[in-house]
A and B are shown apart, each in its own frame.
Chain A
Amino acid sequence: GAGVSQSPSNKVTEKGKDVELRCDPISGHTALYWYRQSLGQGLEFLIYFQGNSAPDKSGLPSDRFSAERTGGSVSTLTIQRTQQEDSAVYLCASSLMVGGTEAFFGQGTRLTVV
């Protein structure tokens, strides 16, 4: 597609359940980022992937969060044993290369943990 695609657009889950959020980056973009946007914390970096390099996981808030990127393209962010504080909009972005080039963002997945 022309832009970064995220699915689902909305997800409501019960506390304690696992969820998977998907991101399809722009074709040819080697860098992929996950961010979280919540009322209390604003926009926070979670993780990024660059080509075949080891991902930078320094922003993941706990070991319940993990992400993978298969074949250098699609990425899945997994949250295990969800908690209410995980409720947020999860944004994915991709860019041509790591560095100063602009990142293009998807519309996000709104996660609500009840």
Chain B
Amino acid sequence: AQKVTQAQTEISVVEKEDVTLDCVYETRDTTYYLFWYKQPPSGELVFLIRRNSFDEQNEISGRYSWNFQKSTSSFNFTITASQVVDSAVYFCALSSHPRQGAQKLVFGQGTRLTINP
């Protein structure tokens, strides 16, 4: 069975601080995909990143960076110099490779991030 754990239910920091959101996953698949989505107060899930299991390179996009480590089954997300607009609920998700069945996202419980001015 697949499982995604986001142990941090809520995080609150002051603007300009760096913050890391943790994500740990479980899967028996050798090929899989990992995602991060942002859910602002409007409710729509906004795609942030997709990473496949063969690509362990870390990625940086502006103030966002992701650290994928297969050895620890983690896919952590860091926001550098946080801003109030980063306040949202962030979800980590996992899906299996097409050959191994239905493509459905398994989500973590989400981390509510609040950036205070």
Contacts and interface: CB of A to CB of B under 8 A. Distances in A.
A108 interface: yes
Interface residues of A, number: 26
Contact of B47 (A58, A89, A104): A104
B88 to A, nearest CB: 13
Instruction: Determine the main DSSP class of A at the interface with B.
Output: strand
Contacts of B110: 42-43
Interface magnitude class on chain B: 20 to 34
Contact of B103 (A35, A98, A107): A98
B45 A45 contact: no
Contacts of A79: none
Contact of A107 (B44, B52, B91): B44
Contacts of A33: 104-105
Interface in B21-71: 33, 35, 37, 42-47, 50, 52
15 contacts: A43-B93, A43-B105, A44-B107, A45-B106, A48-B102, A50-B103, A56-B104, A89-B43, A93-B45, A99-B33, A99-B97, A100-B95, A104-B47, A105-B37, A105-B44
Interface of A: 31, 33, 35, 42-45, 48, 50, 56, 58-59, 89, 91, 93, 98-108
